[in-house]
Amino acid sequence: MVGSTNTNELLRAALNSGRTPSTGGKASTAASKRGSKQGTPRKMRSHTESANVSDDEFDDLESNASDDTWVVMGEDDSKVIETGDNWQDIFDEAMDALGEKRAATREKALATIVRIMSLRYLGEELSGSRITLLETLKKSAKSHKSDKESMLALLAIGQWFINFGMEESDEYAATETMLKTIVTDHKSDSVRAIALNVLGIANFISGVDFNDAVDVMRFISEKFFTSSTSAPISLLRQAFETYGFLLTVVIDGNLRLAEHTFDKVFKAHLDGLAADSVDLRVASAQNFALMHEALNTNTQDFEFDRQEELVATLQAIRQESAKRHGKRDTQAQRSAMRDVLKTIDGGEAPEMRLVLGGRSVSFDCWARIVRLHSFRACLGGGLPRHFVDNPLLQDVFEVEFDMSSDAFSRNEGRVVINPSSEIAKMRTKEMRKQRVAQNTYLQQLDYDYE
């Protein structure tokens, strides 16, 4: 997930650009900014309260807590998506404008591209020009004239992989080098954070297998998890979040390797819990929960080697006074630590629902919730549309939508979630075969993750 309030505001501004002001109601006020992104769960207002995209839809889904519902969009999402029959003309004009000399012109064009790619699945409609599009976006991302241009271009690159990246391992390999360079060398911490987020998205979608995920996790560890590391909180938090996102890939591919890999950064995560930042604490804690849940599934009553120390630290954080961080941050911290402790100390899985216009998708494990957060950070309020139209998200979350049913057209009923169906099995098998391929060398696991 994107690790800065500036990026959050950038995405919101891009998705709201060019819109007619709402007459259907007041736009809702954000309960919090992205800085407290994974703190406490929050019920978000239905989109029927406003014809505009509300702040709530772009602020962080605050935690992964039990028994909470995330209402993303309500009944009339099509009315706010100003990408109708002429969307391709608008998109082409924006692409042409990326060649202009004025940075402000390019920024405006990129905001348009981000809006369209978020609010519309383009995987089939622009497949013939996808490589040209990616190369153009990479050129803007490498620009050092405007941080805003770089951030918008990086957002668009993340969306490019969500739209087109399922079969693009070659394009990932070339883009990975650029993203790592930006994360390492760019002068702007906000640009570095969003590049790190996009690196995770691109790797998750287009990496050949879990070896590629481990490579990026090693890169993150070397850059941000060593004793000599000095980085701003927003960037460190993004490092923990991207690390956890890619850890879900390794867990699926080789659980023993995932455990071995996480052991190498266990202390760094404990250090994250010791930080003053609530955001950094929550990001660290949720990775502990993610790893514990996976290992507990494989080994009943699993405990980390330093389980007692970890549980004591989490309990102490949960009980901290509001005087230290303020009421809202303290509530977010308590809620997050409660959910993590339920998993690590009690073996209970989190539970959350994503509501799309009255239809509900359940997320009942940390891996699915961590993945949901990462995709939402890149798509914003366009996430529901991609859930319905984009086969990638349906593969990742094993969700099917019965678009032909009368109930769907009348906005009744629930999302069809049937991961055991033959269609779901075929799609999931195709999606995972690259990641879960058991490399002979790794199966022997004379593997030194250093």
Phi, psi (rounded to 5 degrees) for 226: -95, 165
pLDDT recorded at residue 81: 40
Q: What is the pLDDT of residue 329?
A: 84
Please, how many CA atoms are within 13 Å of residue 437, restricted to the half-sphere of its CB?
Answer: 13
Query: Would you state the pLDDT for residue 354?
Result: 80
Which uninterrupted H or E stretch holds 204?
helix 189-206
- CA angle, residues 274, 276, 279, in degrees to nearest 5: 95
Question: pLDDT means per 10 residues in the chain (450 residues)?
Answer: 49 56 35 31 27 32 37 37 73 95 95 95 89 96 92 97 90 95 95 97 95 97 85 93 98 96 96 93 96 89 92 93 79 92 90 74 91 94 90 89 53 41 45 43 43
Position 14 scores a pLDDT of 60
Reported as a single tens digit per residue, the pLDDT across 339-393 is 999 999 988 888 888 876 567 788 889 999 999 999 999 999 899 899 989 999 9
Q: Fill in the amino acid letter for 148.
A: K
47, 398, 436, 226 alpha-carbon torsion, rounded to 10°: 20
Distance CA 426, CA 444 (A): 29
Select from 48, 65, 66 the least CA-distant residue to 57: 48
List the strands of the sheet with 68-73, edge to edge: 68-73, 352-356, 359-363
For 170: left if phi > 0, alpha if psi spans -120 to 50, otherwise beta; the answer is: alpha
Orientation of helix 169-185 relative to helix 147-164, angle to 10°: 160
Residues 281, 417: Cα–Cα separation, whole Å? 33
Measured CA to CA, the distance from residue 226 to residue 265 in angstroms comes to: 9
Give CA angle at 209 (205, 214), nearest 5°. Answer: 95
Whether the CB-CB separation of 193 and 238 falls below 8 Å is answered with yes
Q: State how far the alpha carbon of 370 is from the alpha carbons of 38, 251, 255, 397, in Å.
A: 10, 13, 17, 11
- For residue 228, what pLDDT is reported? 66
Helix (H) / strand (E) containing 355: strand 352-356
In this predicted structure, what is the pLDDT of residue 145? 87
pLDDT for res 358 = 62
Closest CA to 130 of 103, 106, 166, 178: 166
Total-model pTM:
0.78
Site of tokens 């509501």: 355
Interval 413-432: pLDDT, tens: 334 444 444 444 444 444 44
CA-to-CA distance for 32 and 41, rounded, in angstroms? 11
Give the pLDDT of residue 415: 42
CA distance 241 to 64: 13
pLDDT of residue 402: 62
DSSP symbols for 224-267 = HSSTT----HHHHHHHHHHHHHHHHHHHHH-HHHHHHHHHHTHH
